[in-house]
Amino acid sequence: MRQRTRKTLLGIAFLLPVLVMVGIFFIYPLIMVVIMSFQKWQVLGGSEFVGLKNYADAITDNEFWKTLWNTIIYSAIVTPMIFVPAIFLAVVLKRTSRTTKFFRTVFFLPYAISFVAASYMWKWIYSDTYGLLNYLLNLLGMLDQQINWLGSTWSARIMVSIMVAWKTLGFSMVILIAGLQGISPSLYEAAKSDGATKWQEFRYITFPLLRPTIVLALIISVAGSFKAFDHFYIMTHGGPLKTTETIVMYINKVAFEYYNIGLGSAISVVFIGILLVISYLQLKAGGLSNE
């Protein structure tokens, strides 16, 4: 019994630093946001509870739905842009050798750059008058006038997504490689002796066994794209005509530009709810809800 208590205590001691950090930087702010979402929150004291008013304001706010919609469209574009190449690269680079190590590093490298730095870099690449992309296309004689890549809605969404895919697919690739390496080679040998083609191996062995890893990587990636802020803030400022303004940009605007902390908090809470639902649906779709 004493042995067990000691073990438990030791376990708690090891967990404590993390629990404290999570508590201070996640749980406490989360609770505060929920409390503030029911308040007309005043900077210099005198905040009062207003019940569900902020929530009513949030869901009747056109801008909220518009920015949420912008975010959904962006996520729908960027997710396959990350995943199709990431799965391909993971399959190609799953065996460890000097060459694959080199290429893994190359594809992972952009992930180490901050979003802010990457956004400025790509903004320059996309610039119509002095950008690299137009310069190259011009050299190849493919332009009859400069293209303003971030100037129209769909082009801006796609071009920003390309940047994000370039930057983050390395991370998804690494997770997927780890998953692939967990699949026993004997399965492939057995399949081979049964005369399976490469596609059949992928379809009936790799894909089903990789599913938990894919779901994990998807959740991280989709949640990440729903939280998009820096790259749109820097590359498009939400333009043209606010069509690339994301929900997080809008929350920031309401809370810290319009000083409406209560409404900003309510939108944040609704947004957290939406993220939870999406993550749950993804788990369910991946058949992992019971694990």
Partner 1 sequence: MKKMYLVLLVSLVAIFSLTSSIFAAKTLVMWDQRPETEQIMEMFNAKMEAEGRDVRAKLEIIPYDQMVSKFMAALSAGKAPDLYGLDIVQFPYFTSIGAFEDITGWAKNLPFFEELPKGMMRPGIKDDRIYGLPYQIDLSVLLWNKNMFVEAGLDPNQSPKTWYELVEMGKKLTVDKNGDGIIDQWGFNLAGGGAGAYMFWFMPFVWGNGGNMFDEQGNVTLNSYETVEALRFWHDLIYEYKIAPVSSIQYGSGDRYNLFVSGKLAMFLGGNFNITSLRKDAPDIDFGVALIPSNRGEHATFGGGTLIGITSQSKSIDEAKEFMEFIYSDEALIEAFAPNLMLIPRPSLYDNKYYKEIPQMEEFGEFLKYAVTPYSLNYNEIYDPVLYYFESVFLNKMDAESAVEKCTEKIKSLTQK
Query: Applying CB under 8 A, does 49 fall inside the site for partner 1?
Result: no
Spell out the residues 6+ positions from residue 267 whose beta carbon is closer than 8 angstroms to its own: 58, 61, 64, 247, 250, 251, 254
CB of 140 to partner 1, least distance (A): 13
How many angstroms separate the Cα of 256 from the Cα of each of 64, 132, 224, 228, 270? 16, 35, 22, 17, 18
- The secondary element (H helix, E strand) that includes residue 228 is none
How many angstroms separate the Cα of 58 from the Cα of each of 29, 35, 264, 270? 20, 16, 8, 9
Contact pattern from residue 60 through residue 79 relative to partner 1, giving x for each residue in contact according to CB under 8 A and a dash for the rest: ---x----------------
Query: Applying CB under 8 A, does 44 fall inside the site for partner 1?
Result: yes
Nearest CB to partner 1, comparing residues 213 and 268 = 268
Contact pattern from residue 122 through residue 161 relative to partner 1, giving x for each residue in contact according to CB under 8 A and a dash for the rest: -----xxxx-------x----xxxx-x-xx----------
Rounded distance between C-alpha atoms, residue 27 and residue 37, angstroms: 15
- Answer yes or no: are the C-beta atoms of 232 and 250 closer than 8 Å: no
Which of residues 212, 224, 239, 286 is near partner 1 by CB under 8 A?
Answer: 239
Which window, 79-87, 180-188, 217-225, 239-247, contacts partner 1 (CB under 8 A)?
A: 239-247
Spell out the residues 6+ positions from residue 186 whose beta carbon is closer than 8 angstroms to its own: none
Which window, 85-93, 99-107, 222-230, 232-240, contacts partner 1 (CB under 8 A)?
A: 232-240
Place of tokens 């794209």: 225
Rounded distance between C-alpha atoms, residue 149 and residue 130, angstroms: 12
Nearest CB to partner 1, comparing residues 102 and 256 = 256
Interacting residues with partner 1 between 173 and 202 (CB under 8 A): none
CB of 80 to partner 1, least distance (A): 26
Q: Which residues bind partner 1 (CB under 8 A)?
A: 42-45, 63, 127-130, 138, 143-146, 148, 150-151, 236-237, 239-242, 253, 255-259, 261
